[in-house]
Structure 1
Amino acid sequence: MSSEVFVPRPYYDTRVLSQEGVPVKKSDPNPSSGSATAGYRSAKYTPSEWFSNYHTILQRAGSDNQAARSIQRESRTLYQHTEADTSQTQADGTRLLGERLQEIHYWKSELQRRIDQLQADTESLLALKKRLEKALDATETPYAIATDNLNCRTRRLGPDLVRDSVEEELIKEVDLIKSIQALVKRTTAQVVTQIKMNREAKQTLEMDWSDKYQAYNFDDHSGRCTNMSPDTQHHPSSATVQDQVSNCTLWTTFTQNNLSKALHEEQATHSLRRLVEQVLKDTTEDLRVQCSRVDQAFSRRCGELIEAKTQLEIKLAKVLEEIGAQERNIVALQQAIQNIEPPLRVAQSRLHLRSLRPNIELCRDPPQLSLEGEVRQIDSSLASLHQQLSEARGSLSYLEESRITLEKDINCKNHSLFIDRDKCMFHRKRYPTVSMLSGY
């Protein structure tokens, strides 16, 4: 073994020294305290070193106690403040979530109200669309009636084929029905377009409502979360501000714009409904008024035809009477001519026989003059009778022509009456009612 004895140096607390600003001396941990001696002399602490070490330990323990109490006070204050701040922040967050829920609920209710209104408006427009389609179909009947009336009246005969007031009113009716059909088609197209706009606006509101419904559920669930909730967990990245997020102003403006668009479509729907109702009312009234005008024109025309037919029939009766009288007159004239033939033959025979007198006896004596006058008288009477007979026969021919003309005209009037009264006016009884023309 070595004969050297190592004596330790006094112990220094480097933490205290460093805190007090005393430089730490690094030395050999086992330096020699002096010359090594044999026997009982060994490396031991001196009393001063022992007291120094004892006081150092006390100071260090006191310092540690003070530091620990200071940290404890600071920690107590810190966690109390932290707990209070956290509770306050959590309470504020819960309160804000509640306010947000109320706001979302308000806008969601507004959206739902507009959605319901748009749905009701769309259903009313669909009903109006059906009415317009029925009204358009109903106009086909009066159009067919009017065109059929015009076609039937082209089959009138002779002088009755005239462009009268009935034909003018029928042409007006056809033109009116065509214009009404075009108007109803345009109105139907407007209704279809408005239905499409309403559905688009409704879809936009429904998407916004769905987003708010989900946001409401998330915020409601978030508001119900407490420190004792078992389903809470750490989401470190959730507090990071996300890109493309909206602010409150943009959020409110977005919903307000959707509601404004829905309100605009609602107002447009109400205006279009009033327009459609007015169109159906006006077109129905116009058709019924024109139908009444045509019916009145038919009635007047039928009255004129009946009156003309009556006058013609009266005149035909007179003509027939005149024809009978003229025929009897002709027979009488012929009989008179036949009756005058024997006296003429007698007078002519007498003159012929007296012309055979001889010589001086062939003289113009009174009998001769009387016979010559008688023959001249009979010839004149016979000529007058023949002239009268010719005139009577001519008059009878004219009367026959008048009879034929009257009968033809009466047949024309009967045919025209059959067309106007028995066909056209009877066909017009199938004219649609006001409710059918209104689309019901």
Structure 2
Amino acid sequence: MAQPDEPHPPVVPSCPLPSKTCDVVPTERPRSCCGMAVAGLRTAKYHLPEWHRRNAGVCYEAYTTGEQAERGRAEAKHLVKHAAASAQRAQGYSKATLGQRLQDVHFWRVELQKEIMELDAETNLLAAQKLRLERALDATEVPYSVVIDNLECRERRQPPDLVIDEVEKQLMKEADLIRDIRDLLKRTIIQAATQIRSNRIQKENCELDWSDKVETYNIDDKCIGYCTDSTDVQYHPSSVKFEENASTPKSWAQFSHDNISRAEQEKLASVQLRSLINNIIHDASEDLRMQRAAVNEAFDNHCRELDDAKLRLENHLQQILKDIGDEEANIVNLKKAIRDKEAFLKVAHTRLYDRSFRPNVELCRDEPQFRLVSEVEELTVFLEALKRKLMESEQNLKNLEETRMKLEKEIAVKANSIFIDRQKCMGYRVRYPVDLEVASYKQ
């Protein structure tokens, strides 16, 4: 520190210095005889020693006053230098701390901006995955309608083909699978929407913090530019205080750290959810593809069984039709044989009747009589046998006709079942989406 200039040695006056300035006091002097004549000239005058003391007092007072003034000037000069240096150091230190604070604010501002951009990009990716879920959910409507239509169509099968076969079991399994997938997709869509909302809330928190950091950075940058030559500086006595709600450097940094940490957590949860969505769509697509293949295989197998059954029934029908023709011809032959035998019986009856009119002893049990009776009995036995056979043949023909009708009905039922399974069901299943995962990317 610069030492103040030493004061010049005082100039000592030539007159003696009294201890104090003497006051002028009136004195008692003897009066001359002519005192009345000179009384006005003698009143309130000093003696010579008093005059010297008075002059000395004035000189001493001037000396002390000058010395005190010179000492005050030296102290003022020293104070001015000290205050200037101290103010310069304080302003430099304040500027340095503001610069360090600017670096801290800039660091957190950059970190927050980086986190905001990453969180925004992650939110957009998750929104795209949510859109995939919605498209996948929409894509399940077609296979579900196909399955329900297949089940409804197969309800129109006629007994006895109205059975719970392997096709129906696989269709029911497919319907349950699609319902489970739809429920899972809906729950995942809700979960994705919740996560997107959380991401945006945390992004908004980071943006508010970032905005405060930007404003603070601008304020501190403006403050660091102030100097004594600035034209917009003025007194603000009310600002020289600490706000009650002001944060500490530790809590200030912890606040931004917590915002970034929560943003990282939300981003990690979003990444995990996106991976889960990929797995869900992939697994659902694979499950649907495998179940669709199982249903189609069951349809193919059942249609082959129906074709085989229909073919066997048609072969049996052809045989029955042939049997019916043969039986009808047999009945015709039996009827003709009965008519022929009846003609022979009529002849024998007529002969016996006419011979019953032989007179007297001529009514003899001769050999012709016995032969005619034997003929009648023989013809009667044959006629009864032929009639029984005719009845059996007619019953057989009736049974064959009933069998024919049953076979034709069964063939019609099988044809209806084949039409439903092959034309209606399998034809409608062509609209089944090939891949749910691919469908989730379609616009």
TM-score exceeds 0.5 = yes
Shift of 1:301: 1.6
Partner of residue 9, structure 1:
none
Cα pair distance change 1:240/1:33, threshold 3 Å: farther
How far apart are the structure 1 equivalents of 2:301 and 2:314?
20
- Residue 400 of structure 1, CA deviation: 0.7
Q: For residue 330 of structure 2, what is the amino acid of its counterpart?
A: N
Instruction: Quote the Cα distance in structure 1 between the aligned partners of 2:428 and 2:28.
Output: 148
Q: In the alignment, which residue of structure 2 is the partner of 1:233?
A: 234
Deviation at 1:427, TM superposition (A): 1.0
Cα distance between partner residues in 2 of 1:335 and 1:241:
135
Q: 1:194-246 deviations in whole A, cap 9, x for unaligned?
A: 22212221121111111111111010011111222222122222222232211
Q: Compared with structure 1, are the counterparts of its residues 41 and 160 closer, same or farther at alpha carbon in structure 2 (3 Å cutoff)?
A: closer
SS in 2 for 1:243: coil
1:79 match = 80
Deviation at 1:379, TM superposition (A): 2.4
Q: Which runs of 5+ in 1 are unaligned?
A: 1-19
Q: Distance in 2 between matches of 1:91 and 1:411?
A: 106
Asked if structure 2 preserves the Cα contact closer than 8 Å seen for 1:166 and 1:298, the reply is yes
Deviation at 1:403, TM superposition (A): 0.6
Map 1:269-288; keep pairs closer than 5 Å.
269-288=270-289
Name the counterpart of 1:97: 98
> What is the distance in 1 between the residues matched to 2:277 and 2:181?
13
Match in the other structure for 1:219? 220
| C-alpha contact 1:132 1:439 (8 A) present in aligned 2 | no
Q: Which moves more between the two structures, 316-325 or 342-351?
A: 342-351
Task: Judge conservation of contact 2:18–2:57 (CA < 8 Å) in 1.
Answer: no
In 2, the alpha carbon distance for the partners of 1:87 and 1:125 equals 56
The structural deviation recorded for 1:55 is: 5.0
The corresponding residue for 2:154 is: 153
Aligned to 2:440: 438
- Residues 24/204 of structure 1: CA separation in 2 closer, same or farther (3 Å cut): farther
Check if 1:127 corresponds to 2:128. yes
Distance 1:191 1:179 in 2: 18
Distance verdict in 2 for CA 1:34–1:215, change over 3 Å = farther
Judge which range, 127-136 or 214-223, deviates more. Answer: 127-136
Structure 2 counterpart SS, 1:160: coil
Contact 1:139 1:437 (8 Å CA) reproduced: no
Task: Note the C-alpha offset of 1:336.
Answer: 2.1
Letter in 1 for 2:420: I
Indicate whether 1:136 and 2:131 are aligned: no
Q: State the shift of 1:356 in Å.
A: 4.8
- Give the Cα separation in 1 of the matches to 2:29 and 2:209: 94
State the AA in 1 paired with 2:309. Answer: A
Q: Which moved more, 1:36-45 or 1:205-214?
A: 36-45
User: Do the aligned residues in 1 keep the contact of 2:21 with 2:53 (CA within 8 Å)?
Assistant: no
With the length of structure 1 as denominator, give the TM-score of the two structures: 0.86
Report the Cα offset of residue 251 of structure 1.
Answer: 0.9
In the aligned structure 2, how far is the partner of 1:142 from the partner of 1:35?
150
Name the residue aligned to 2:334.
333
User: Paired residues, what number?
Assistant: 418
The residue matched to 2:160 in structure 1 has which SS?
helix
1:292 CA drift (Å): 2.1
Deviations along 1:123-146, whole A, 9 cap, x unmatched? 223222222222222222222222
Q: Distance in 1 between matches of 2:241 and 2:276?
A: 55
Residues 138 and 439 in structure 1, CA contact (< 8 A), matched pair in contact too: no
Once the two structures are overlaid, the 10-residue window that deviates more, 103-112 or 48-57, is: 48-57
Are positions 1:31 and 2:26 aligned together? yes
Aligned to 1:113: 114
Partner residue, 1:4: none
Give the whole-Å Cα distance in 2 for the aligned partners of 1:170 and 1:439: 27
Following TM superposition, by how much is the alpha carbon of 1:72 offset from its aligned partner in structure 2, in angstroms? 3.4
3-state SS of paired residue (1:221): helix
1:387 matched residue in structure 2: 388
Q: 1:313 to 1:94 in 2, by over 3 A?
A: same
Between 124-133 and 95-104, report the one with greater CA deviation. Answer: 124-133
SS at match of 2:228: coil
With over 3 angstroms needed to count, the CA separation of the structure-2 counterparts of 1:227 and 1:374, relative to structure 1, is same
Distance 1:404 1:22 in 2: 164
* Cα deviation 1:267-286 (Å, max 9, x = unaligned): 22122222222222222222
Whole-angstrom distance in 2 between the partners of 1:45 and 1:271: 115
Distance change (3 Å), C-alpha of 1:222 and 1:35: farther
Give how far 1:363 is off: 5.0
The equivalent of 1:410 in structure 2 is 411
Structure 1 residues 350, 56: CA separation in 2 closer, same or farther (over 3 Å shift)?
same
- How much is the aligned-residue C-alpha RMSD, in angstroms? 2.8
CA distance in 1, matches of 2:28, 2:201: 102
1:64 to 1:160, Cα distance in 2 relative to 1, 3 A: same
Matched with 1:257 is 258
1:377-397 Cα distance to aligned partner (Å, 9 max, x none) = 322222222222221111111
Percent identity between the aligned chains? Answer: 42
